[in-house]
């Protein structure tokens, strides 16, 4: 009996590990990283507006390792009726479509392109690694500056993302912030 309970518990933990292992990301308006100014954040696959854990839920992320895709659901839902976007092969599709005309954005080599393209004229945003003004130690999450088109100018930076480079998280944060 105890072995069955232990197996059930391990299986349940294994199935939910994907949601726990998704990590944290923060979308800041600038590189000052002031907590009260956070635009949106992701914690355990839930995209919330602002810095509070009780903030409005914009999207819910669900990674599907079997099909190698990430589904982005509207609000706090995982219903197939609430799919806003699907990220497959670093391409953001509208809803759950698999047709090429439903590709909204393509993520490639730190750049976000409009539609199903990697042509330099179609660059919408470029992500560049930023240096922290105030480092707290070796365990700091990486910072990514989000720049308009292919710019390197600080005046063209629209936001800063704190967290690992993950196409699904970046697309969801930018959509929540109103940039996608």
Residue 161 in contact with residue 143, Cβ under 8 Å?
Answer: yes
Q: Report the predicted TM-score, pTM, of the whole model to 2 decimal places.
A: 0.81
Domains of the chain: 24-176 (2.40.160)
Q: What is the mean pLDDT of residues 149-176?
A: 90
Q: How far apart are the first and last CA of the chain?
A: 51
Structure confidence by residue, pLDDT tens digits, 65-103: 888 899 999 999 899 999 999 999 999 999 999 899 999
Q: Please, what is the Cα angle at 94 between 87 and 157, to 5 degrees?
A: 70
């Amino acid at each position: 009996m105890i072995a069955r309970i232990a197996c059930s518990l391990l299986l349940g933990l294994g199935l939910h590990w994907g949601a726990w292992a998704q990590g944290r990301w923060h979308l800041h308006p600038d590189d000052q990283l002031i907590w009260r100014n956070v635009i949106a954040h992701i914690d355990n696959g839930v995209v919330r507006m602002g810095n509070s854990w009780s903030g409005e839920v914009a999207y819910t992320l669900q990674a599907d390792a079997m099909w190698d895709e990430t589904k982005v659901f509207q609000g706090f839902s995982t219903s197939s009726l609430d799919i806003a976007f699907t990220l497959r092969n670093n391409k953001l599709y509208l809803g759950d479509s698999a047709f090429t005309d439903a590709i909204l954005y393509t993520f490639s080599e730190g750049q976000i392109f409009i539609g199903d393209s990697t042509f330099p004229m179609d660059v919408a945003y470029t992500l560049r690694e930023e240096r922290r003004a105030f480092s707290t130690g070796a365990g700091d999450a990486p910072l990514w500056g989000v720049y308009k088109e292919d710019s390197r100018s600080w005046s063209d930076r629209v936001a800063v993302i704190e967290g690992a480079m993950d196409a699904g998280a970046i697309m969801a944060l930018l959509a929540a912030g109103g940039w996608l």
